[in-house]
Every structure is written in C-alpha cells, then in structure tokens.
Amino acid sequence: MEDLEKAKQTALRLLALRPRTVRELRNKLEEKSYSPEVIRDIVAYCQEYGYLDDARLAKSWVKWRLKEKPSGKSLLIYELREKGIDQSIIDTALSEEYNDRNEFELAVNAVNKRLKSYQNLDRTVAERRILAFLSRRGFSLTVAKEVTNKILDR
C-alpha cells in the first residue's frame, strides 16, 4: 500500500510538470522500478480523474505546434507516435485541427519567416534550401514544391 501511495505522488508530480501520455507515464514509473500492478493502478487512477488523457494531449499538442512551429502532417504524426499516442487518436486530433488548405498556408508562413536568408541566393540554391527546410518540417513534397514556386515567382 505504501508503494502505491508513493507511486501516486510520483505520477502526480510528473503530471504537474507537464501533460504526459499513458506511455510516457508508464515509462517514467517503470524507471522508478514500480511493479506492473502498481503502474496499472496508478494509470487507471490518473485516467479516472482526468489527469491523463491521450486524446486531449494530442489535440493540444497539434494546436501548440501549429501555432509555435508550423509543421506538416507527417512530422506531427511522427511526434505523436513517439509519445505513444494511438493512431486513431492522432487521426482524430489532426482531422479537427488540420486540413490541406491549412497546410499550404502554414508552409508559406514558415518560409516567409526565413525569407531574408533566401533572398540573395541563386534560384536553384534557394529552391533546394526551401524544399529541404519544408521537408524537415514534415510538409509533403507537393505542398513544398507549390510553396517554393509561389515564393520564388514573386
């Protein structure tokens, strides 16, 4: 019983620092050498009281990323999978916050923030760098090419 209370305090302390996924919390509790039964009980407790909600975390993560560091769908999917979020939850979060028109605008805005660094370059060099930048940010090749052409044809 003492182990359960200690694990509960550890979990609540971790969740007070920042929201976490079920997998992240499980991993942290495993690192602290709690038994699988205690971890299962703590995760259930945290979910029951709303401290642990993968769907809510996925939605807020997507909103935050789109606002702070615009990214393409593929990068967002990768990041959410790395956090241990189920694909169906990822699909729901992205369908609510993301659409194809939105992706084009996000890519244009991301490039516009860095436009000065591309201004004095040869067109082929600028094109290569913009495509690479957008690719690293997870934008599709189609969107990256459209944005590159739009930016460079101004």
More confident residue, 16 or 113: 16
* pLDDT score recorded for residue 101: 61
Q: Calculate ∠ Cα 122-124-129, nearest 5°.
A: 95
pLDDT tens string 133-149:
999 999 999 999 999 99
- Spatial separation of the C-alpha atoms in residues 60 and 129, rounded to whole Å: 30
- Spatial separation of the C-alpha atoms in residues 81 and 69, rounded to whole Å: 18
pLDDT tens string 19-55:
999 999 999 999 999 999 999 999 999 999 999 999 9
- Spatial separation of the C-alpha atoms in residues 132 and 148, rounded to whole Å: 10
Show the tokens assigned to 34: 């709690």
Q: For residues 20 and 29, is the Cβ–Cβ distance under 8 A?
A: no
Task: Report the 10 Å Cβ neighbour count for 65.
Answer: 19
Sequential DSSP letters for 4-43: HHHHHHHHHHHHHHS---HHHHHHHHHHTT--HHHHHHHH
pLDDT tens string 4-15:
899 999 999 999
Task: Report the 10 Å Cβ neighbour count for 117.
Answer: 12
**Tokens 């690479």, located at residue:** 132
- Spatial separation of the C-alpha atoms in residues 64 and 8, rounded to whole Å: 28
pLDDT tens string 50-91:
999 999 999 999 999 888 888 999 999 999 999 999 999 999
- Spatial separation of the C-alpha atoms in residues 119 and 58, rounded to whole Å: 37
